Amino acid sequence: MLLERLRALDFGPFNPVAVIDVLLVAFVLYRLILLIRGTRAVQLIKGLAVLLVATALSSWLHLDTFHWLLRQAMTALVVALPVVFQPELRRALEKLGGGSFINAPLLYQAEKERAQVISHVVRAASLLSRRRAGALVVMERTTGLEEYIDSGVKIDGLVSAELLVNIFAPGSPLHDGAVIIRGSRVVSAGCILPLTEKPDVARQLGTRHRAGIGITEVSDALAVIVSEETGTISLAVEGTLARGLDELALSERLSAAFTPAGVPARGFWWPRR
């Protein structure tokens, strides 16, 4: 109705509908660029750009056989693109349907319960850090993690620092995998997570850190990581790793991430804080 009324108005050479159209397209393209930044999709798009330029040049130079070969390759790529870009497409759809406007009522626990869970996770991370025991604790938010929960051993126990420390104790059969927390319960341990595909991750970071970053790239979960070599505590959020955190810094970041005013991401349409 609004667009029809705008079209009916006489603005002379100025067309407000066209301006709105261009602004919407620019905004969507901007969000897509932010979404794929730092992922392997950037390299794939560069490869596609090279193929397009080569196809145009071969046509201009009348290299008929080479141009035919490139056109066949482009046709095959149209079919292959959904498969090649599957992680990025999945991430975009999850963010599109996982914004805070839709899921916020289901996300937040009672403030007291939430503070207790965060306190237990922070205390466990501190104890494990002093003992140089590696740990990876994933805290679920709006995106369901069922496929990763099923890859581990079901626990379904109340979150406590003692439980987490025992799970990650050296020699424990579950200490190599990840623990997944949903609400106030440890739902699974020994879980297998996807590794990050970012090419710029520091080489000194091992599989535990790469898995922590990876799970935050495909979901809005948070990952608390304790280094086995250095005892350093890190927090991964949306594919970004904050290292060298103490108890206070970790507690503040977790508290901010689990309150309505402090969620770092608001889905696909809103910029990250």
220-248 tens-digit pLDDT: 899 999 998 889 999 999 888 999 999 99
Digit-coded pLDDT (tens) for 24-72: 888 888 877 766 665 566 667 777 888 888 888 888 888 888 888 888 8
pLDDT at 79: 77
Mean pLDDT within 180-186 = 91
The Cα-based distances of 183 to 4, 142, 159 in angstroms read 47, 11, 9
Model confidence at 108: pLDDT above 90: no
More confident residue, 176 or 9: 176
What pLDDT band is residue 75 in, cutting at 50, 70 and 90?
confident
Model confidence at 265: pLDDT above 60: no
pLDDT at 121: 95
Location of structure tokens 């091992």? 206
Location of structure tokens 């046709």? 75
pLDDT at 37: 63
The Cα-based distances of 230 to 134, 205, 226, 265 in angstroms read 9, 11, 8, 30
Sign of CA dihedral 179, 182, 188, 193: negative
CB 164 within 8 A of CB 186: yes
Per DSSP (E only), the strands in the chain are 135-139, 153-158, 178-182, 185-191, 222-226, 233-237, 240-242
CB 135 within 8 A of CB 181: no
CB 186 within 8 A of CB 156: yes
Does this model's pTM top 0.85? Answer: no
Average confidence score pLDDT of the chain: 79
Strand duo 178-182 + 135-139: pairing: parallel
Location of structure tokens 């794929």? 36
Residues whose CB is less than 8 angstroms from the CB of residue 97 and which lie 6 or more positions away in sequence, other chains included: 267
Mean pLDDT within 78-83 = 74
Residue ranges and CATH numbers for the domains of the chain are 2-102 (no CATH), 107-260 (3.40.1700.10)
Q: What percent of the chain has pLDDT over 90?
A: 30
